[in-house]
Structure 1
Amino acid sequence: MKKYMAGLLSAALVGSTLAACSDNGKPQSEEAKKASDKAAADNVNPTGLPIVKEPITVTLMYPREPAHGDFDKMWFFKEIAKRTNINIKVQAIESAGWEEKKALAFATGDLPDIFFSGLTVKDENMYGPQGLLMNLKPLIDKYGPETKALFDKYPEVRKTFSTPEGSIYTIPTFSDYKRDTVTVRPYINKRWLDNLGLKVPTTLDELYTVLKAFKEKDPNKNGKADEIPFTGLFNGSASIPILSAVGFVDSRHDVIKDKYVYVPIQPGYKEYLIYMNKLYKEGLLDKEYFSQKKEQVLAKEKNLSVGLNGDSGGYTNIGSGNLDQFIILPPLTSSVNSQKMARKQPAYQRWGTFAITNKSKNPEAMLRLVDYLFTLEGSLAMRAGPELGVVSDKAGYEYVTVNGVKTFNTHFEGYPSFYDFRQKQSPVNGPFYNGQTIGDYLTYNDPMQVWLTNLIMSSGSVDVARYPYPEVKFTPQEQEKIASYIDMDSYADQMEAKFIMGETPLSEWDNYIATLKKMGVDDMIKIRQTAYDRWNSVK
């Protein structure tokens, strides 16, 4: 813990000095500060709405996207003021200059009361211990029942956002929409399988048989050998379906039974390399796999020339008239691993990270505000904007029922899309809870989204998903050491490509391992295990 705090004390003195100043910049007496703090706390209703008895005005620094509307006229802020008695004055910073302006605000102490978005892990780790961001843990315990319930439901999120000593400086957007817990979604061409009389593969051996048939048996029935059996992006997600079949859910950093695993030195990883080398050598893996960009992969998918695309994710280029041609490849097993698994997305997003700065005179009210945004009502205001008829009779959402599921029928006349309408009326990217209810509201009446949801859920990947190595906090000394290992990962990347393409024979595996050991892989493993143990000890 002492190591974690090292190097931050001098900046903390600056933060504490700034915090003890009054509006006119003169030092505030301890008695006056206590009286002011008590008055602010007494103005807060402990439960229900409005949040404060007498209206207050607070400042929010926010990264403005080009599609955002005028924050002063935005429906969200007017509605929040009406519901909570909290008037939010937005200091809008164009997203292109956000990092520079944010850094300047922290350096000068010219901070807003709160942030809704735009804070990074580095910001949290630096400005929290310095005292520029408040420790939210005591406030959550007293004023944040929704927040506390979400942290309790997802202890891994609490661990990630807690410091080793138990402080919490930022609160993320929570997201546990079931479909989105799995973001590696390899599409396999079901029509080609049907044309060849093949079943959906469930093992690596079966996948090899399928890919070989895709190459040799003209599955698109055009009389040309123009099919690409397997494509994707090197260092994208295309490797994950193969790696998960041999026991890993990440290509670098995994955790198995609470033990950190550096994947590139594992025997199972060697099996992955042997398999991928076989695919590449036989022309089953796209020859452009190591050089192509996402746009090229999506173009091949759009042309319906791909048998398996390992890098589609949630954004597919498949035309709506061809949706029935693809399904999602289910988790595979292999001769070295009989357990199905998939990579699980943690139940948070950092693009909606909330924080209270040391400038806030109303921290209790600010915590109650973010807690309100985690309710269904508050989350809808942040993410969905106004209902149809509230600001326009031609734009907004209305509730309908589709196949027994309550969802949105969206209207956006005068706007390019419903998302564009929402960004004119609400920040959209801010703290909220993207649970099953809101997920269904926003997706279930969109045929493309319903198709995607059904494919993901029917693939079985959600049921067997597990987390890889989490987002841990390193001490400054650990961080400096970890940064020095960048050459190790570069070497592992280079050798992965060389092994797969056959430029380096797999008989050189032992020499490859020896080189990584010389580069310090054993020390790196110890550092990451220590950081994981510290993360895992947070309660």
Structure 2
Amino acid sequence: MDWKKRTRLLLAATVMTGLLASCSGNDSGNDGPSSASGGSSPQGTKGQSESAGVNATGFPIVNAPIKLNIFAGQAPSAPADWNNVEIWKEYAKMTNVDVNWQLTPVDSLTEKRNLLLAGGELPDAFHTARFTSVDLANYGGQGLLIPLNKLIDEYAPNFKQLMEKYPEIKKGLTMPDGNIYSLPTFYDPDFKSVVIGSELWINKKFLDALGMKEPETTDEFYEYLKAVKTKDPNGNGKNDEIPYAASGITGLIDQLKGAWGLGNRGNTHPRVDVDPKTNQLRFIPTDPHYKEVLQYVNKLYKENLFIPEILTIPGKEMLAKGSDGLYGSFLYTNADTFGDHKDDYIGANAFAGPNGDRLFSRARSPLVDVGGFAITNKNKYPEATMRWADYFYGEEGSTMFFMGIKDKSYVVKPDGSVDYTDEYKADPEFGKKYVSWAGGYYPAMLTAKTFKGGESSPANLEAAKKIEPYYPKEVWPPFTYNQDELAQFNALGTDIGNYVDEMTTKFVTGDAPFSEWDNYVSTLKKMGLEEYMKIYTAAYERYEKQ
């Protein structure tokens, strides 16, 4: 295949699309970079912004009711109709802002969202719409999403304070043109268990039955998995234990690569880090140490130490199969779904590798999702919309967003902490009446005080504490790309990423022998890897200078 020719064609097509969209778009102006200095609480003396007709502080946000059409991505675990969720009904009363939620299932989210942006029938805002930094630079550059710098400065005191406290937020959101086009999902950096997300869990009951200590190295992890496979740790006389379970192999590879010194800037950029020998950006999937990671995973696969359907099994089915406590290890948020067996598991540590490297390479940036909320050029009330969204970046709004309605879905304890009601805990469907955050990618700030989901369990907190000493010294947020870079970067990234995924699976399963490694690396170079890394490096250098 002529990869360079394909890239040129995709580049031309994307540029033409951008030009057409720019001509049809409504120019909302460019506010330029914000000073983002100062800040105040959203509660206080009520003021009036003459230019916007919106109350600058306090509630209601506007004195005369307004209506907003907001497009949102709906995860399978989220409520079916957000218009009937209690927090949104209550918030409408508080603000005088009535939201008509236009929900799209996540399976078709990107396609539907992009069709709206291409066709011009835009909502007033996008919420939980999973915009990447590339999307934001593209649609913001076309004028379809408006710059938020001035709105943040004047109408978002909570978010403004967050940017001052955590400079990486502004660095991760500011596009090369100086504009911010979105509000993010942001996790408190000190709340490590939720920043980490999914954990690798080890069956402590199996360890005890086998007389083994908790694995600390990749060799010990292998020996443990092999023992689970062959030594009947559940003692039922059957060879029914499953050493490792997950939906796919990517998570395990990302977990293990730190044992070979890879992923030293975290997993927001899973294929790029810094080569400590040259201090230059490194494409991880062509590094010789990555070959060693795949050889290790290939050994586990060949010896049948994985759940048989690991490459195809959906996450829900994988969890259902673990309900009998047969997993020796698995990768997921926690073991709560396993009922009576949920306490069998402990969080694994970061493993030391054959060369002494020990790094938790699956670390994420607390700027989890850059594209949680964006305002379109069709919005007649951008000031009120910004105030509406900003509330959820303060403690009061964060509590409401994640916990729901006081004394109905959550209670305040004597020590001031909050917890879900017994009814909420007992019935998973009960929570859907009150909150809509399930599935992630929401525009809000999440803290240990305001969030009581699975990641806040004692087991998760203990697992995060164990991992923290091996956290990378720096974890990159997403980088940003300018209009001149976008088309080529997208085209190259898609082709290269698909090929890496294909060959990673083949190397792991043995469908491609490791004697083909040099040919694999050579093919990536022919596909334009050098040009791809030049664009990546330019984005990294911009990030460093901010």
Q: TM-score range by the shorter chain?
A: 0.7 to 0.9
Query: Does the 8 A contact of 1:397 with 1:411 survive in 2?
Result: no
Between the aligned partners of 1:75 and 1:500, the Cα distance in structure 2 is 47
Which whole-Å CA distance do the structure 2 matches of 1:252 and 1:89 have between them? 37
Q: Report the 3-state secondary structure (helix = DSSP H, G, I; strand = E; otherwise coil) of the residue aligned with 1:194.
A: helix
1:396 aligns with 2:417: no
Residues 469-516 of structure 1 deviation map (CA, whole Å, 9 limit, x = unaligned): 735436455433542454444443343344334454434433433333
Amino acid at match of 2:272: D
Pairing partner for 1:263 from 279, 284, 302: 284
Question: Is 1:189 equivalent to 2:196 in the alignment?
Answer: no
* Letter paired with 1:205: D
Give the stretch that moved more between structures: 287-296 or 198-207.
287-296
Change (3 A) 1:81 1:522: closer
Asked whether 1:214 is paired with 2:244, we answer: no
Q: Show the counterpart of 2:127.
A: 116
Q: CA RMSD in A?
A: 4.0
Q: Tell me, what secondary structure is at the counterpart of 1:179?
A: helix
The aligned runs of 1:50-65 (5 Å cut-off) are 50-52=60-62, 54-63=63-72
Q: Does 1:88 align with 2:78?
A: no
Q: CA deviation at 1:194?
A: 0.8
Query: Could you say if the C-alpha distance between residues 428 and 48 of structure 1 is closer, same or farther in structure 2, counting changes exceeding 3 Å?
Result: farther
One-letter amino acid of the structure 2 residue matched with residue 399 of structure 1? V
Alpha-carbon separation, structure 2, partners of 1:98 and 1:277: 34
- Name the larger-Rg structure: 1
1:516 aligns with 2:516: no
Displacement of 1:328 in angstroms is: 1.5
* Aligned ranges 1:489-528 → 2 under 5 Å: 489-528=497-536
TM-score, normalised by the number of residues in structure 2: 0.77
1:33 maps to: none
Quote the offset at 1:245 in angstroms.
Answer: 1.2
* Aligned partner (choices 208, 230, 241) of residue 244 of structure 2: 230
Identify the match of residue 349 of structure 2 among 330, 347, 365.
Answer: 330
Corresponding residue for residue 383 of structure 1: 402
| Cα gap change, 1:372 to 1:198, in 2 (>3 Å) | same
**Distance between the aligned counterparts of 1:232 and 1:333, measured in 2?**
21
Distance 2:245 2:300 in 1: 11
- Distance in 1, matches of 2:439 and 2:58, equals 23
Residue 434 of structure 1: aligned partner: 446
Write the distance in 1 (CA, Å) between the matches of 2:309 and 2:125. Answer: 47
| SS of alignment partner, residue 303 of structure 1 | coil
> Aligned-pair distance for 1:64?
8.1
Match of 1:141 in 2: 153
Alpha-carbon displacement from aligned partner over 1:196-220 (angstroms, at most 9, x marks no partner): 2111111112222322332333322
Q: Deviations over 1:26-66 (max 9, x none)?
A: xxxxxxxxxxxx974264444444445x4352423234858
Opposite residue 283 of structure 2, the aligned amino acid is Y
> 2:383 aligns to what?
364
| Residue 459 of structure 1 pairs with residue 466 of structure 2 | yes
Q: In the TM superposition, what is the alpha-carbon distance from 1:15 to its structure 2 partner?
A: 3.2
Q: Residues 469 and 337 of structure 1: is their aligned pair in 2 closer, same or farther, counting only changes over 3 Å?
A: farther
Report the counterpart of residue 303 of structure 1 in structure 2: 324
Report the equivalent of 1:34.
none
Alignment of 1:4-153 (within 5 A): 8=18, 11-16=21-26, 40-41=50-51, 43-52=53-62, 54-63=63-72, 67-68=79-80, 71=83, 75-77=86-88, 79-84=90-95, 86-90=96-100, 92-93=102-103, 95=105, 106=117, 109=120, 111-118=122-129, 120-121=131-132, 124-153=136-165
After TM superposition, give the deviation of residue 223 of structure 1 in Å. 2.8
Amino acid at match of 1:245: A
Q: Give yes or no for contact 1:124–1:169 (8 Å, CA) kept in 2.
A: yes
Taking only the aligned residue pairs, the percentage that are identical comes to 31
SS of alignment partner, residue 213 of structure 2: coil
CA distance in 2, matches of 1:141, 1:12: 26
Q: Which runs of 5+ in 2 are unaligned?
A: 1-11, 30-47
Indicate if the aligned counterparts of 1:473 and 1:535 stay in contact, CA closer than 8 A: no
What is the aligned length? 500
- Cα–Cα, structure 1 residues 279 and 141, in superposed 2: closer, same or farther, change >3 Å? same
- Secondary structure at the aligned position of 2:250 is classed as coil
Greater CA drift, 75-84 or 424-433: 424-433
Q: Structure 1's 117 and 197: CA in aligned 2 closer, same or farther, altered over 3 A? A: closer
Shift of 1:297: 3.3
Of 510-519 and 414-423, deviating more is 414-423
**2:392, 2:444 within 8 Å by CA — same for their partners in 1?**
yes
**Contact (CA 8 Å) 2:72, 2:102: kept in 1 or not?**
yes
Instruction: Check conservation: 1:212, 1:229, Cα contact below 8 A.
Output: yes
Q: What does the per-residue CA deviation read over 1:411-464, in whole Å, with 9 as the maximum and x for residues that have no partner?
A: 35997633222149999985322122111xx34xx8x96254244334325861
Aligned partners of 2:350 and 2:358 also within 8 Å: no
The answer to whether the 8 A contact 1:75-1:425 is kept is no
Conserved 8 A contact 1:280-1:501? yes
Task: Check whether the contact 2:215–2:224 (CA below 8 A) recurs between aligned residues.
Answer: yes
Is 1:479 equivalent to 2:487 in the alignment? yes
Structure 1 runs not aligned, ≥5 long: 20-37, 389-394
